[in-house]
């Protein structure tokens, strides 16, 4: 009587097929969850504190006479000035009424920063009809140094090395929140 | 004429297998790529700020990603605080199809000579009181053992047509309600 062939010989040509259906179910569920919960809108923010002043601060300012760089955005032009006249006032006409010349303002502010590299504050005084779009673009142009701008170096007190600045005037304050201008 | 199949053609007829296996490997490849792409995109969309339909946000190059905070949304049609409509503006002229927005406040919504927005002030005060109660019950304490102080941060998400006069009133109202820091939200400009 012949021996029965071993089962190993039979399995030699059989292909094992992996059951991918549960993995597929998981993938589809995961994609659905990610699509449902993810935000396609990338939001960024610009922070600004409410201006606060008391008599002691005012007295200190009158004594020290800081730069207090101010950018007054008006309907027809934009003025860059200092209340204590530490810089000559510069008026930049708006190419379109209500739309300031962002490029020219930025270049003027880079010049101010080169003279006052340690100054970080800027006061923005927009006219009441300025749109939110104008506010955001003005805040951007006064805050951010662009790669094409000339490098401005400041000595790091800790390391003693000169380091390039990344921001222009990052601390933005609105100057006419209480006024009627 | 009737159609007769030959014996040979009947023999050569394909036999359908008992179990039909769909080839899922290529589909799995595609799904894995989609999942990886979504997970990578998911990492940059962590904020929980909502928005309203039809709002046109300005673009900004600011690198700061806003952390979660209370937010007010302003459109030329009205104002929303924490997903709740708190006031509607009066439309003063037709602005359909233009980039201008002509709207004004209802006189009953303004106080203090037009500086304070009353419905917003009420909503902000209520939110601050709620936050202060939660903080007083929380176990988190400062160095002196007192409840952590109210942060007073308000995110402002406005349509790009909204004017500064409205923003100024919102900031003044928020400051009188105890909110001293403002975050202006905008869409990230890809550089």
Q: Among A30, A45, A127, select the one facing B66 at the smallest CB separation.
A: A45
Q: Parse chain A into domains and list their residue ranges.
A: 67-174
Contact between A43 and B175 using a beta-carbon 8 Å cutoff:
no
Residue B98 has pLDDT above 70, yes or no: no
Are B54 and B82 a contacting pair, CB within 8 Å?
no
DSSP state of A36: H
SS3 content of chain A, % helix, strand, coil (to 5): 30, 25, 45
Q: Among B42, B155, B160, select the one facing A131 at the smallest CB separation.
A: B160
Are B171 and B115 a contacting pair, CB within 8 Å?
no
User: pLDDT, tens digit, for every residue of A51-105?
Assistant: 877 777 777 777 778 888 999 999 999 999 998 888 999 999 999 998 999 999 9
Q: How confident is the model at residue B127 (pLDDT cuts 50, 70, 90)?
A: very high
Chain A interface includes B120 (CB < 8 A): no
pTM summary value: 0.78
Q: Select from 3.30.420, 3.40.50, 2.60.120, 1.10.287 the CATH code of A67-174.
A: 3.30.420
Q: Average pLDDT of A15-27? A: 83
What is the spatial distance between Cα A167 and Cα A140, in angstroms, rounded to a whole number? Answer: 10
User: pLDDT, tens digit, for every residue of A100-139?
Assistant: 999 999 999 999 999 998 899 999 999 999 999 999 999 9
What is the spatial distance between Cα A57 and Cα B146, in angstroms, rounded to a whole number? Answer: 29
ipTM (interface predicted TM): 0.78
Are B163 and A129 a contacting pair, CB within 8 Å?
yes
Q: Among A23, A44, A130, select the one facing B60 at the smallest CB separation.
A: A44
Sign, CA dihedral B27-B33-B36-B40, equals negative
User: Which residue from B minimizes the CA distance to A48?
Assistant: B182
Out of A75-79, B31-35, B64-68, B174-178, which region has the weakest mean confidence (pLDDT)? B64-68
First to last CA, chain A: 113
């Amino acid at each position: 009587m012949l021996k029965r062939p071993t089962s190993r010989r039979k399995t030699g040509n059989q292909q094992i097929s992996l059951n991918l259906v549960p993995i597929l179910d998981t993938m589809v569920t995961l994609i659905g969850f990610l699509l449902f919960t993810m935000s396609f809108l990338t939001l960024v923010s610009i922070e600004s504190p409410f201006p606060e002043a008391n008599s002691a601060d005012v007295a200190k300012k009158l004594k020290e006479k800081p730069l207090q760089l101010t950018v007054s955005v008006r309907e027809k032009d934009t003025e860059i000035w200092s209340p204590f006249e530490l810089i000559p006032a510069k008026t930049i006409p708006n190419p379109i009424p209500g739309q300031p010349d962002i490029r020219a303002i930025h270049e003027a502010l880079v010049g101010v920063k080169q003279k006052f590299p340690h100054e970080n504050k800027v006061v923005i005084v927009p006219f009441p009809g300025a749109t939110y779009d104008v506010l955001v673009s003005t805040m951007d142009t006064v805050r951010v140094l662009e790669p094409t701008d000339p490098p401005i170096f400041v000595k790091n007190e800790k390391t003693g090395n000169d380091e390039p600045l990344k921001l222009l005037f990052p601390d933005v304050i609105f100057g006419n929140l209480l006024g009627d201008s | 004429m009737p159609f007769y199949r030959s014996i040979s053609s009947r023999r050569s007829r394909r036999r359908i297998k008992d179990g039909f296996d769909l080839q899922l490997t290529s589909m799995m490849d595609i799904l894995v790529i989609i999942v990886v792409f979504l997970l990578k995109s998911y990492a940059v969309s962590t904020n929980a700020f909502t928005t309203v339909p039809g709002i046109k946000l300005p673009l900004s190059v600011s690198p700061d990603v806003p952390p979660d905070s209370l937010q007010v949304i302003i459109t030329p049609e009205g104002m929303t605080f924490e997903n709740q409509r708190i006031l509607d503006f009066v439309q003063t002229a037709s602005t359909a199809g233009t980039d201008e927005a002509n709207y004004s406040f209802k006189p009953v919504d303004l106080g203090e000579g037009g500086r304070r927005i009353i419905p917003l002030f009420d909503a902000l005060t209520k939110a601050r009181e709620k936050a202060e109660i939660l903080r007083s019950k929380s176990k988190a304490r400062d160095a002196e053992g007192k409840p952590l102080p109210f942060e007073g941060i308000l995110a402002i998400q406005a349509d790009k047509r909204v004017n500064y006069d409205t923003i100024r009133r919102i900031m003044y109202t928020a400051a009188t309600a105890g909110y001293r820091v403002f975050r202006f939200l905008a869409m990230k400009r890809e550089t």
